[in-house]
């Protein structure tokens, strides 16, 4: 018997953090402008030491343009993976993921509605900054509530009904998105269509960036406080209840927090698919199904995956860029099919 | 029963409890299941009462859809009865806060579904969940308790095995060990012998009898096995279509006419070598 200890958890997180750091440095290096690792390291150190004025213009460009995008990718990956991990435990379905369940589409509809409404409302700048993520969060929350009720049969969650419910909600919402997009001026259409595929080129403004950071940290911590309850929920709600889990409280907390994470990620990156499905699975294979380690591992894993996907998106068809969501979908869809066949074989 | 017993139950510490105090008191509990509030209930459990002491095994018997599992869920506190109440050491079970309930009542379900495989020891450690705060890491004490629980059911050798790679009988032992790790006062089992062969069934009930005696658990077990219940239970609760027909020691409940009427088949009731009743289905009775 070797139960999880705090020191083992911190060690694993440290290892993953180092991998993430290395991947981020590589992501800084690759792109249209070529830079050396040595130069990058030197200038990063200067930034950390507060000597930003000594940085050469080439590297300054990299740090100002590439770094925020990479950080955004890491944030989106972490948020979607943690949301996916939570949905899989809450719905007792290893195929649950914000994208597959239509939660990302719900967030997208919410975000588009917020974008359409914003010019017509006299919002203060502070509120305007949170308006889109708020819309996305509400959209995500409505979608997961609908899927949850569609997936219920005789008071129990039914796996296949749930997935079908997700597919139906997602297709309904996609139609709604197309309808909303046609109301946009044509110049915005391509940008929006790209955004829907999942992309990281629109780096959020400062107030929005703060909303994302604070929102992510709060929602992730809230989910993490339910980690050991989620372990027991995997065995079913009744069983968890008999082991002392306040099932209703955990469910509400984790659904809201996971919807918030999805909403935040979608509001800045569109629908980056399959990250929330693929990464929790990979991490579960490595670290096991204990959510006390699975949640932080998924956060790091998701961040690493999206940063790598973004490197590919920027370099495969350079100088053109692919949406990062296309890369994650190409990698994720075959895995989804594999899992589906294995589960229902 | 009543207030006197209740206050005694609240006042006395667990270790100093007088053994004849009824630890579990099911008082006139009833239940109605209605899928749609506008419609009449599709299932009702009429007022049912019984009491059980520490160390006693109570078997709940009856044909399918007689309300056995519902009664068990009400006793566990997971379902709120429509009327009446269930007292465990003077506390109303469905009013207990979830963790407090998990420290007093352990439930072994018909089968434990595993979404992702885990090792047997991880599974048993889950039984320590009610004793910690949300984010706690298991202590050495928890590990010792889990190891002891596995040892008590004779499953130490399974600790490092994967739950999806052990036999049905072994799995049932590990599930029982998890319930023991909760260190409960009340152990509830819902058809624990369902998928077991006869050897494993007897093994499980022998283990239950030993545990009830050693650890002073009150055990309530729902089962279809009339003879096993007759052999191992101190009391039997006989249900039919949501009605509690009889409560008492097996010898007083196992009456031929009563069992024939409940189970709709011809049978004989004899006294076995152990002095307990034994039921046989008459050849060609069906």
pLDDT tens-digit series, residues A268-285:
888 788 889 889 988 988
- pLDDT at position B5 is 35
Cα distances (angstroms) measured from residue B166 to each of A101, A326, B171, B175, B198? 34, 42, 6, 12, 18
Q: How would you write A306-335 as a 3-class SS string?
A: HHHHHHHHHHCCCCCCCCHHHHHHHHHHHH
**Dihedral of the CA atoms A292, A296, A299, A304 (nearest 10)?**
-130
Cα separations (Å) of B85 from A275, B28, B74, B76?
A: 49, 7, 9, 11
CB A40 within 8 A of CB A323: no
The secondary element (H helix, E strand) that includes residue B269 is strand B267-271
Pairwise CA distance, residues B185 & B104, whole Å:
5
CATH architecture of the domain with range B3-255:
3-Layer(aba) Sandwich (3.40)
Distance CA B227, CA B244 (A): 20
CA distance A4 to chain B (A): 7
Judged on CB neighbours under 10 Å (0-12, 13-18, 19+), A116 is middle
- Chain A contacts in chain B segment 92-121 (CB below 8 A): 97-103, 105-107, 109, 112-118, 121
Domain residues for the domain of A169 are 70-344
Q: Which residue among B103, B146, B182 sits closest to A1, beta carbon to beta carbon? A: B146
Instruction: Give the containing element (helix H, strand E) for B105.
Output: strand B105-108
Q: Provide mean pLDDT across the span B186-208.
A: 87
- Contact list, B116 vs chain A (CB under 8 Å): 94, 234, 284, 289
Q: Which of A231, A232, A236 sits opposite B113 (nearest CB)?
A: A236
How many CB atoms are located within 10 Å of the residue A205 CB?
12
End-to-end CA gap in chain A? 33
Bridge partners of B119, per DSSP, are B162
- How far separated are the first and last CA of chain B, in Å rounded? 43
Q: Kindly tell me the number of DSSP H helices and DSSP E strands found in chain B.
A: 10, 12
User: How far, in Å, CA of A299 to CA of A244, rounded?
Assistant: 27
Whether the CB-CB separation of A140 and A104 falls below 8 Å is answered with yes
Residues in chain B: 286
Q: How many domains are there within chain A?
A: 1
Distance from CA of A55 to the nearest CA of B (A): 44
- Among chain B residues, the shortest Cα distance to A93 is held by B115
Kindly give, in sequence order, each residue whose CB lies less than 8 Å from that of residue B89, ignoring residues fewer than 6 positions away. B9, B10, B14, B23, B104, B185
Q: Is there a domain that residue A54 lies in?
A: no
Residue A14 counted as domain residue: no
What ipTM was assigned to the predicted interfaces of this complex? 0.82
Query: What is the CA B137 to chain-centroid distance, rounded?
Result: 29
Share of chain A above pLDDT 90, in %: 21
User: Which residue among B78, B105, B130 places its CB closest to the CB of A238?
Assistant: B78
**CA separation for the pair A64, B243 (Å, rounded):** 75
Residue numbers in B near A292 (CB within 8 A): 135, 137
Backbone angles phi, psi at B230, to 5 degrees: -60, -35
Is A1 in contact with B114 (Cβ distance < 8 A)?
Answer: no
Quick one: closest CA in A to B178, which residue? A243
Q: Which residues of B touch A226 (CB under 8 A)?
A: 134
For A255-261, what is the mean pLDDT?
88
- Chain B positions touching A229 (Cβ under 8 A) are 129, 134
The answer to whether A1 contacts B125, with C-beta atoms less than 8 Å apart, is yes
Closest residue of chain A to B183, computed from CA coordinates? A243
Size of interface A-B (CB pairs under 8 A): 92
* DSSP label of B156: G
Query: Is B129–A243 a contact, with Cβ atoms under 8 angstroms apart?
Result: yes
Cα–Cα dist A93/B83, whole Å: 36
CB-closest option in B113, B118, B130 to A243: B130
3-class state of residue A51 by DSSP: coil
B99, closest residue in chain A (CA to CA): A244
A288-A291-A297 Cα angle (round to 5): 75
Q: Mean pLDDT for chain A?
A: 83
**Does the structure show a pLDDT above 80 at B37?**
no
Cα B217 from Cα B234, distance rounded (Å): 13
The model's pLDDT over B111-153, given as tens digits with 9 standing for 90+, comes to: 666 777 788 998 999 999 999 876 778 888 899 999 999 998 8
Residue recorded with tokens 């928890």: B142
Tokens standing for residue B88: 């465990």
Kindly report the nearest CA distance between residue A199 and chain B, in angstroms: 33
- The residue among B209 and A197 whose pLDDT is bigger is B209
Query: B132 contacts in A (CB within 8 Å)?
Result: 228
Task: Give the number of other Cβ atoms within 10 Å of residue B85's Cβ.
Answer: 17
Q: Is the pTM of this model over 0.95?
A: no
Write down the pLDDT at residue B115.
72
Mean pLDDT, residues B273-285: 80
Contacts of A235 in chain B (CB under 8 A): 112-115, 126
- The CATH code of the domain that includes A118 is 1.10.3470.10
Rounded Cα gap, residues B29 and B85, in angstroms: 6
For residue B17, what pLDDT band results from cuts at 50, 70 and 90? very low
Q: Which residues of B touch A232 (CB under 8 A)?
A: 126, 129
Confirm whether A59 is domain-assigned. Answer: no
Nearest to B171 by CA among B233, B110, B83, B212: B110
What's the confidence (pLDDT) of residue B10?
33
Q: Which of A92, A232, A247 sits opposite B126 (nearest CB)?
A: A232
């Amino acid at each position: 018997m070797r139960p999880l200890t705090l020191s083992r958890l911190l060690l694993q997180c440290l290892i993953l953090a180092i991998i993430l750091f290395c991947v981020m440095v590589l992501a800084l290096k690759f792109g249209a402008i070529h830079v050396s690792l040595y130069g990058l390291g030197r200038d990063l150190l200067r930034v950390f030491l507060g000597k930003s004025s000594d940085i050469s213009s080439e590297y300054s460009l990299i740090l100002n343009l590439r770094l925020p995008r990479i950080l955004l990718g890491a944030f989106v990956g972490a948020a979607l993976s943690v949301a996916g991990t939570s949905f899989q435990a809450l719905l007792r379905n290893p195929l649950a993921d914000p994208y597959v369940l239509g939660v990302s589409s719900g967030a997208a509809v919410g975000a588009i509605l917020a974008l359409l409404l914003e010019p017509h409302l006299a919002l203060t700048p502070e509120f305007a900054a949170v308006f889109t993520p708020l819309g996305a969060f509400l959209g995500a929350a409505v979608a997961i509530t609908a899927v949850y009720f569609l997936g219920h049969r005789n008071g129990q969650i039914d796996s296949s009904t749930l997935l079908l419910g997700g597919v139906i909600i997602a297709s309904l919402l996609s139609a709604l998105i197309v309808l909303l997009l046609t109301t946009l001026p044509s110049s915005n259409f391509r940008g929006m269509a790209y955004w829907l595929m999942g992309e990281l080129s629109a780096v959020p403004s400062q107030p929005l960036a703060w909303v994302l950071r604070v929102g992510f940290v709060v929602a992730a911590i809230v989910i993490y406080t339910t980690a050991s309850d989620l372990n027991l929920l995997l065995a079913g709600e009744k069983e968890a209840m008999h082991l002392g889990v306040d099932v209703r409280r955990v469910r509400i907390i984790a659904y809201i927090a996971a919807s918030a994470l999805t909403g935040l990620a979608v509001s800045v990156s569109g629908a980056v698919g399959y990250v929330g499905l693929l990464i929790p699975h990979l991490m579960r294979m490595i670290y096991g199904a204990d959510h006390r380690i699975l949640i932080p591992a998924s956060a790091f894993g998701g961040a690493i995956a999206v940063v790598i996907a973004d490197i590919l998106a920027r370099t495969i068809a350079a100088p053109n860029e692919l949406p990062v969501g296309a890369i994650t979908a190409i990698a994720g869809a075959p895995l989804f099919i594999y899992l589906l066949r294995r589960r229902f074989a | 029963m009543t207030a006197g017993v209740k206050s005694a139950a609240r006042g006395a510490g667990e270790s100093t409890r007088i053994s004849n105090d009824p630890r579990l008191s099911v008082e006139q509990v009833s239940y109605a299941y209605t899928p749609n509030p506008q419609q009449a209930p599709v299932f009702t459990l009429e007022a049912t009462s019984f009491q059980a002491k520490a160390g006693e095994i109570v078997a709940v018997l009856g044909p399918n859809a007689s309300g056995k599992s519902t009664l068990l869920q009400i006793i566990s506190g997971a379902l709120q009865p429509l009327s009446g109440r269930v007292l465990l050491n003077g506390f109303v079970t469905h009013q207990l806060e979830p963790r407090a309930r998990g420290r007093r009542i352990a439930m072994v379900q018909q089968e434990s579904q595993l979404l992702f495989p885990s090792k047997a020891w991880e599974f048993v450690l889950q039984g320590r969940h009610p004793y910690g705060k949300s984010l706690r890491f298991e202590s050495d004490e928890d590990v010792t308790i889990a190891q002891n629980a596995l040892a008590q059911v004779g499953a130490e050798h399974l600790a490092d095995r994967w739950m999806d790679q052990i036999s049905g009988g072994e799995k049932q032992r590990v599930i029982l060990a998890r319930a023991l790790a909760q260190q409960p006062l009340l152990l509830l089992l819902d058809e624990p012998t369902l998928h077991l062969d006869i050897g494993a069934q007897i093994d499980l009930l022998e283990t239950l009898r030993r545990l009830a005696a050693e650890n002073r658990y009150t055990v309530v077990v729902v089962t279809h096995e009339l003879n096993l219940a007759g052999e191992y239970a101190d009391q039997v609760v006989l249900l039919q279509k949501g009605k509690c027909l009889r409560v008492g020691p097996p010898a007083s409940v196992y009456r031929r006419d009563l069992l024939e009427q409940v189970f709709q088949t011809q049978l004989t009731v004899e006294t076995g070598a152990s002095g307990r009743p034994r039921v046989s289905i008459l050849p060609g009775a069906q």
